[in-house]
Amino acid sequence: MKIKKMLIVLVAAVLMAAGAKVGTMAAQDTGTPAATPDKKPSSKKVAEGEVEARRLLLLIDRDQNGKVSRQEFMNFMEAEFERLDVNKDGELDVKELTQARFTPHVGTHR
């Protein structure tokens, strides 16, 4: 149970970081500042977020039903944790997280 909580926290951190990265990249591409809490994101940024969400769905949705079940999500995160845990000590440290290569392999994640 403890590892599940840890994986959920890791997912939340990864998704927040990915969202921040997408917002920053979109701002750099358009020359406009990234969305702030008092401003709504542009429709272009929303569309970019939807593209990223679809890519994530393709990675995680093993039965290809267009939805991610809790089990599919947990299997994906467990596999990602194992991949990131280079020294196989059961913990992720700063070095492992900062040197991680996030390269999506659509339809081949195991």
Q: Return the pLDDT at 37.
A: 57
How are the residues of the chain apportioned to helix, strand and coil, as percentages rounded to the nearest 5?
A: 60, 0, 40
Indicate the residue type of 109. H
Could you tell me the CA-to-CA distances from 18 to 2, 24, 58, 70 in Å, in that order? 24, 10, 16, 21
Q: Which residue has the higher pLDDT, 71 or 35?
A: 71
pLDDT band at 6 (very low <50, low <70, confident <90, very high): low
Could you tell me the CA-to-CA distances from 93 to 8, 63, 88, 100, 101 in Å, in that order? 16, 32, 11, 11, 15
pLDDT 10s digits, 8-54? 666 666 666 555 544 444 444 445 455 555 566 678 888 888 888 89
Task: Report which listed range, 27-41, 57-71, 93-107, is most confident.
Answer: 57-71
Q: How far is 52 from 26, CA to CA, in rounded Å?
A: 12
According to DSSP, residue 90 is labeled S
Q: Delimit the domains of the chain by residue range.
A: 2-30+40-98
pTM above the 0.75 mark?
no
How many other C-beta atoms are found inside a 10 Å radius of the C-beta of residue 67? 10
